[in-house]
Amino acid sequence: MPETKDDRWFSKLAAAAKDLIPSPIPSDKKVENALEKLKESREKALNHITQSIASEKVAMMKIADHMESAKRWEVRAQMATEQGNQTLAEEALKRKAQCVESVREWHRHVPSTRQQNIELTAKLQGFNVIVHRIIVLRDLLRSIKSKTELSESLSSTIKSLVAEFPDFSKDNERLMQEFNLLLEVADQRLCKLEQQVSHRVQSVINAGEKGSYIVELATQSCQASTSHTLKKLEEDLIKWRAEEARTDPQEDEDAYWRARQFYWATEKSVEYMKRSLEAINQIKLKSIGVDDIDSDGSS
């Protein structure tokens, strides 16, 4: 059957529509593999904290058991004394002393373990923000076709973070130093990458390249997820500030220490997330033809 004028018009329309819709852009395998390794490192850290918390709970149970035993032996010593059995009383007091020493021994490990658990949990919050920023960069890059060099940079950055991830067999002070350094270095590298990706995305949008609207959609999605995460962090910051203010360190040193650690960590996370959001916002502004704006909102 010969093609009619309407058929030809429809064929041209379909071809034009097909040309407007870009083919799916595959994920960069190197980036995905490196990101998976980074997540595995995070899981190891979480497992370490979980095991450490479990050990702390065991220690507290042992302390309670030995304290109870010490009380029982003291009662037995008193009963033996009342019965005139000095030998039995002395034996009971020896057993009580052993229980007291066991309590002291278990108590030596609890404060340092508890402090490390609090600090590590707080540091992991900052690390989660780093992972979020990496995922944002990955998603932005996935929306761009010509991004090989940037993908290589992102992959290299992730691999470096995996290689530099702290060794949990080290003492707490060195562990915290390494974690702090990891977060600072990661922030510096990601800031640079965010700027590079921002410029690349802007050039795609401004040049009106094929599939540029996909880039805009990816930017909007990243902006929304980052804004949501930032809002949650800011709410947490208010919560930890309030908890620190109402906690008396003389009455509950652990609670006060926990509030301070999480406040500091959340404050840093907010700082990191704001940088990420600023980079995304600049992409958004450029895409609609608006120049950079100052922090006060003026052009």
SS (H, E, C) 70-113: HHHHHHHHHHHHHCCCHHHHHHHHHHHHHHHHHHHHHHHHHHHH
Question: For 82-96, 194-208, 263-277, which range has the lowest pLDDT when averaged over its residues?
Answer: 194-208
pLDDT in tens, 139-163: 888 877 666 788 888 889 999 988 8
Average pLDDT over residues 185-195: 88
CA distance 204 to 38: 29
Best mean pLDDT range from 15-29, 254-268, 285-299: 254-268
Q: Which tops the pLDDT comparison, 109 or 180?
A: 180
pLDDT band at 19 (very low <50, low <70, confident <90, very high): very low
Helix, strand, coil percent content, the chain, rounded in steps of 5: 85, 0, 15
pLDDT band at 203 (very low <50, low <70, confident <90, very high): confident
Where are any strands of DSSP class E within the chain?
A: none
Q: How many CB atoms lie within 10 A of CB 204?
A: 23
Cα separations (Å) of 67 from 81, 121, 219, 264, 289?
A: 21, 30, 60, 36, 71
Mean confidence (pLDDT) of the chain: 81
CA distance 134 to 190: 8
Average pLDDT over residues 248-274: 88
pLDDT band at 287 (very low <50, low <70, confident <90, very high): low
pLDDT in tens, 29-83: 888 888 899 888 888 888 888 888 888 888 889 999 999 999 999 999 999 998 8
CB contact set of 270 (below 8 Å; sequence gap of 6+): 230, 233, 234, 237
Domain boundaries, the chain: 34-57+111-287
